[in-house]
Every structure is written in C-alpha cells, then in structure tokens.
C-alpha cells in the first residue's frame, strides 16, 4: 500500500515526487510516456517564455546559456533533477484503470497492479489535442504535433490556429522553405497573448503577403491534395500537402471523472478543489499543475504551479499523521 501515487512525470509531477521524498512518504510516479513527456514533444527549436530560474524544482539550479532556456536544456535539466533525487519513476507505464475503494485506490497499469491511500493527478494537458472534427482529419497529412520544419520544405502548408504554437509553426516553416504557408484562423486577429517578439513578426509577414491568412475561417473538409474551408467571403478550396492543426490541447477530463472529481459550472470546466490543500471534492484525490485550470490551460504554468507540490504533500503528510494517531 503506497502513501501516494502521482500520475504524470512532468515538472510538477516530479516536484510532487521530490516533496514526497523529503517527507518520507512511500510514493510512485507514473507516466505513459518518457520523462517530462510533454516537453519532449515540444518543437525541437522551442525557447521557453519563462527564465530558467522559474523552471527550477527541488533546489537544483537550472543554468542555461541564455536567459530563456531551450527545450534541449530543459530536458537535460529535468533528467538531472530526477537522477539527483533518485525519484521512484514508472515511465512508459500507462494507467489503464483506477478504482476508488472505501479507504484507498486500486490502480491497474499497463504493467501491473498497485494500491495507494491517495492519488495526485499532475497530467498537464498536452496529451489530448483539440480535434477539428472534420472529414479527412484522420489522413496522415494532418498533424496535431509539430517538431521541426524540415519535412515541410517545398510543401504547401496550412496552419490552423492563431496562438503561440500556430504562429511559431507558420513563421518557421515559411523561413525554412515551405512552398506556401496559409493560416486558417477562427478569430478576427492574431492572438493577443502571442509572444511579444513573434506577434509583430507574423503580422508583418501577413501584411506583405509572404504568409496568407484567412480570419474568421474554419475548415470544412480535408482531402488528399486540397483543403476546403470557409470564411465570411464564402467557401474556398486550396492545394495542400500538410495540415498542421495547432488548435491547442485539453486536460484528461475522463480520468478526473473516473476518480469522482466534479467541475464548476463555468466555461472552462474547472475542477473542484480546495486551494489550501489541493484536494478535490473526491476524498484522497489531489490536483497539481495545469490540470487545475480545466480548459483554461494558460492559467497555470511550471513557474506558478510548482508550489502545488508543497501544498499537496504537506496535506498528505498531515493526513497520514492523523491516521497513525
């Protein structure tokens, strides 16, 4: 019987493991992918918006060559953190089922069965992309994740979205030799939250015509060699080799529902939890990191949610002491 099972080996899941280690709690950290799997799936040349000191966990210094670290530096850093703290990791082991019993949880993974008094959900949101829900989305030319521009050299590219990821993809594929880059944007303009150095760049490329953009537009159907879409001017058809759907991602609501977590009646489907303990309405189920924001995935980041680990493990430690007494 474990004291706590942590679901998600991202930075916040690792921070929770570190705090559990400090408090002498018996814990395991599970992830269906590799260590910091979400960061691993970021574009190869990505630079963080945060400075390195704001990404630190476990009192391990994060030194980067520039003020804003790269993806490669972050992967190296979190590997070092996991090794230095000798965290109890179960990587490439997905959670197949969680059953809440009277006083504990029964967890079945892809490799075994475990029991725990408490569960911490720190799954982030990067594993479930928002789907376009149009005909042809299952074609191999449609990508919901982007790694690098090289495969798109000489290709006609459509980028869906207007937030940071979409802007980065459009600019990089354009500059690395895509034959054409067209943005299909649901909103009236480029997102106001786009990084301050990228927003004027994309706006200027659109103005000069190097990147084509259709605003208040949506895709109707994706075919092998063309894409059909519509905007306020009507329906259009353009030649296309790849669709890069940078439409954002969502938390694993199904897992939360399985654990009995309820949600506020708001547009963001925010989970119910006590911000003093991070325990949800479902006793023994704690939340940490981005998952706490529901659909509002830009509310919590590494820098402002790493403190969740302190709160969660402090609450679990108190609960364990009360049980002993």
Write the DSSP symbol of residue 270.
Answer: P
How does residue 83 score in pLDDT terms, banded at 50, 70 and 90? very high
Quote the percentage of the chain above a pLDDT of 90: 84
pLDDT of residue 81: 98
pLDDT of residue 127: 75
Q: Highest-confidence range of 21-30, 44-53, 245-254, by mean pLDDT?
A: 21-30
pLDDT of residue 94: 95
CATH number for 131-245: choose from 3.40.50.261, 3.40.718.10, 3.50.50.60, 3.40.1350.10: 3.50.50.60
Residue 243 has pLDDT above 90, yes or no: yes
What is the CB-side half-sphere exposure of residue 49 using CA atoms within 13 A?
13
Closest C-alpha to 92, from 40, 20, 130: 40
Rounded Cα–Cα distance for residues 155 and 181 (Å): 9
**Cα–Cα distance list, 44 to 78, 80, 149 (Å):** 16, 19, 9
pLDDT digits (tens, 9 = 90+) for 259-309: 999 999 999 999 999 999 999 999 999 999 999 999 888 788 899 999 999
Query: Are 303 and 68 a contacting pair, CB within 8 Å?
Result: no
How does residue 251 score in pLDDT terms, banded at 50, 70 and 90? confident
Domain with CATH 3.50.50.60 in the chain: 2-128+249-324, 131-245
Give the pair of three-digit tokens for residue 78. Answer: 């979190």
The CATH superfamily holding the domain 2-128+249-324 is FAD/NAD(P)-binding domain (3.50.50.60)
**Residues facing 105 on adjacent strands:** 100, 116
Question: Alpha-carbon Rg of the chain, whole angstroms?
Answer: 22
Residue 126 has pLDDT above 80, yes or no: no
Residue 124 has pLDDT above 90, yes or no: no
Pick 197 or 105 by higher pLDDT: 105
pLDDT of residue 158: 98
Specify the DSSP element, H or E, that contains 21: helix 11-22
Closest C-alpha to 127, from 281, 13, 285: 13
Q: Highest-confidence range of 37-41, 89-93, 125-129, 299-303, by mean pLDDT?
A: 89-93
pLDDT of residue 275: 93
Q: In what order do the strands lie in the sheet with 242-245?
A: 142-143, 242-245, 156-160, 180-184, 212-214
Q: What is 102-147 written as a DSSP string? A: SSSEEEEESS-EEEEEEEEE---STTEEPP---BTTTSTTEES---
**Could you give phi then psi for residue 161, rounded to 5 degrees?**
125, 170
Least confident span in 88-97, 100-109, 315-324: 315-324
Residue 133 has pLDDT above 80, yes or no: yes
Residue 324 has pLDDT above 80, yes or no: no
Q: Is 136 left (phi over 0), alpha (psi -120 to 50) or beta?
A: left
Average pLDDT, the chain: 94
**Could you give phi then psi for residue 221, rounded to 5 degrees?**
-155, 145
How does residue 89 score in pLDDT terms, banded at 50, 70 and 90? very high
Rounded Cα–Cα distance for residues 209 and 267 (Å): 36
Pick 195 or 221 by higher pLDDT: 221
How does residue 207 score in pLDDT terms, banded at 50, 70 and 90? very high
**Residues facing 160 on adjacent strands:** 184, 245
Give the pair of three-digit tokens for residue 23. Answer: 């408090």
Average pLDDT over residues 101-121: 96
Pairing of strands 242-245, 156-160: parallel
pLDDT of residue 252: 87
How does residue 67 score in pLDDT terms, banded at 50, 70 and 90? confident
For the full predicted model, state whether its pTM sits above 0.85.
Answer: yes
pLDDT of residue 250: 83
pLDDT of residue 88: 98
pLDDT of residue 102: 87
How does residue 47 score in pLDDT terms, banded at 50, 70 and 90? confident
């Amino acid at each position: 019987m474990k004291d706590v099972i942590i679901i998600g080996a991202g930075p916040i899941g690792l921070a929770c493991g570190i705090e559990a280690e400090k408090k002498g709690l018996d814990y395991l950290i599970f992830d269906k992918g590799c260590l910091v799997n979400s960061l691993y799936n970021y574009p190869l040349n990505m630079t963080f918006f945060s400075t390195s000191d704001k990404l630190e966990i476990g009192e391990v210094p994060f030194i980067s060559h520039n003020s804003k670290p790269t993806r490669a530096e972050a992967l190296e850093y979190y590997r070092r953190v996991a090794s230095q703290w000798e965290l109890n990791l179960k990587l490439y082991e997905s959670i197949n089922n969680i059953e809440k019993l009277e006083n504990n949880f029964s967890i079945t993974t892809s490799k075994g069965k475990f029991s725990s008094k408490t569960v911490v959900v720190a799954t982030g949101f990067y594993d479930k992309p928002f789907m376009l829900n149009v005909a042809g989305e299952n074609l191999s030319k449609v990508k919901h994740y982007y790694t690098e521009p090289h495969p798109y050299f000489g290709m006609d590219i459509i980028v869906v979205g207007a937030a940071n990821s979409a802007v980065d993809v459009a600019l990089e594929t354009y500059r690395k030799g895509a034959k054409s880059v067209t943005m299909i944007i649901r909103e009236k303009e480029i997102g106001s939250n786009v990084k301050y150095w990228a927003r004027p760049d994309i706006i200027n490329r659109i103005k000069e015509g190097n990147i084509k953009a259709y605003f208040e537009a949506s895709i109707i159907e994706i075919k092998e060699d063309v894409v059909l879409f519509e905007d306020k001017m009507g329906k259009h058809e353009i030649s296309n080799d790849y669709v890069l759907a940078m439409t954002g991602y969502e938390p694993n609501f199904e897992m939360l529902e399985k654990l009995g977590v309820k949600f506020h009646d708001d547009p963001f489907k925010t989970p119910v939890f006590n911000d003093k303990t991070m325990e949800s309405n479902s006793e023994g189920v704690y939340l940490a990191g981005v998952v706490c924001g529901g659909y509002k995935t830009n509310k919590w980041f590494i820098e402002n949610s790493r403190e969740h680990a302190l709160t969660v493990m402090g609450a679990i430690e108190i609960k364990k002491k009360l049980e002993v007494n």
